[in-house]
Amino acid sequence: MTFYHNLLLTLKKDRIFPKKSEGFTLIEILVAITVLSICLVVIMQLFAGGLKNAMLTGKYTSAVFHGRAIMEEILLSPELITGDHAGDFGDGFVWNAQVFPVEKTEENNMVTPLTMLQVSVDVSWNDGKKERHVRLNTLQIVNEMLDTQADEQILELYKREGL
């Protein structure tokens, strides 16, 4: 029994601790290459998505700067002209501006010489198959009447109120 027992013990040791371990098996190499290729594909997709988002953010930033330039140009003009205005920047961005009066709410039937105008600038561009846009809005108070007309209206209001 000792002979078989020694032979069995020797075979178990050879299976557990093989004496000749000279590299990887083919299956281990295939599994390693598969895991590596999956990781590389995921990393490349993340980089591509990040670049796409960076480009889109750059376009939105350019559109906001263009819109602010048009808004400042409209607000700094000596006279705000109500209506639609449009134009092209030449770099793929198109703008459309609207200037219109905000409706007054006359709670106490008092006529004021001031009018509030809403200025809305919309900048749009084509991004592949999608059309994207940015809209900027602001309000501007303007004096509709001449100073003499405003003074006359204030005097009439004082007379009516008994002041």
Q: Give Cα separations from 63 to 18, 119, 134 (angstroms).
A: 69, 17, 7
How do residues 95-118 score in pLDDT, each as one tens digit? Answer: 999 998 887 666 645 556 677 889
Domain housing 50: 27-104+111-161
Structure tokens at 100: 């219109």
Q: Is residue 82 part of a domain?
A: yes
Q: Is residue 15 part of a domain?
A: no
Pairing of strands 94-101, 130-143: unpaired
Q: Identify the bridge partners of residue 121 per DSSP, sorted by sequence position.
A: 97, 136
Q: How many domains are there within the chain?
A: 1
Q: Is residue 6 part of a domain?
A: no
How do residues 114-154 score in pLDDT, each as one tens digit? Answer: 778 899 999 999 988 899 999 999 988 877 655 555 567 66
The CATH number assigned to the domain holding 65 equals 3.30.1300.30
How do residues 45-77 score in pLDDT, each as one tens digit? Answer: 999 999 999 999 999 999 999 999 999 999 888
Q: Is residue 55 part of a domain?
A: yes
Q: Is residue 54 part of a domain?
A: yes
Q: Is residue 81 part of a domain?
A: yes
Q: Under 8 Å CB-to-CB from 114, ≥6 apart: which residues?
A: 141, 142, 143, 144
Q: Is residue 16 part of a domain?
A: no
pTM summary value: 0.62
Neighbours of 121 (CB within 10 A): 24
Q: Is residue 143 part of a domain?
A: yes
Neighbours of 145 (CB within 10 A): 15
21, pLDDT greater than 80: no
